[in-house]
Amino acid sequence: NIDEKKTELNVNPRIFHSIVGISTEATELLEALDLNGNKMDNINIGEEFGDIDWYKAIGIDEIDIDWDSILLSVIEKLKKRYPEKFNSNEANNRNLDDERKILNKMEDN
């Protein structure tokens, strides 16, 4: 007879479902990536992207932030970080405080 300890997570179940679902689907998406140069299964890749969107929709619905606000804030953040185009220096030396100020605008919309 094994004495089992029950662990209870104090986490919103819809957020948990969303994040674990996205993680699982992202792993499946990585598995669909063919590193041997063979023709990739674009139907499978499309399905995994769709599954990720499903789990994103659950999470976004639960946090009650408008999807358009999320996208616009992320675009603004990336334009500030990479005014010309992506480069490793700006990716590694970004100002997280400035980026957070931009992202906080999501709640205002």
Tokens for 73, please give them. 């804030």
**What's the pTM?**
0.75
**What mean pLDDT value characterizes the chain?**
89
* pLDDT of res. 3: 64
Give mean pLDDT, residues 71-83.
92
Helix pair 96-103, 67-81: axis angle to 10 deg = 150
If we measure between CA atoms, which residue out of 30, 53, 32, 35 comes closest to residue 43? 32
Higher local confidence (pLDDT), 55 or 32: 55
Burial zone of 67 (CB within 10 Å; 0-12 exposed, 13-18 middle, 19+ buried): exposed
pLDDT digits (tens, 9 = 90+) for 15-49: 999 999 999 999 999 999 888 888 889 999 999 99
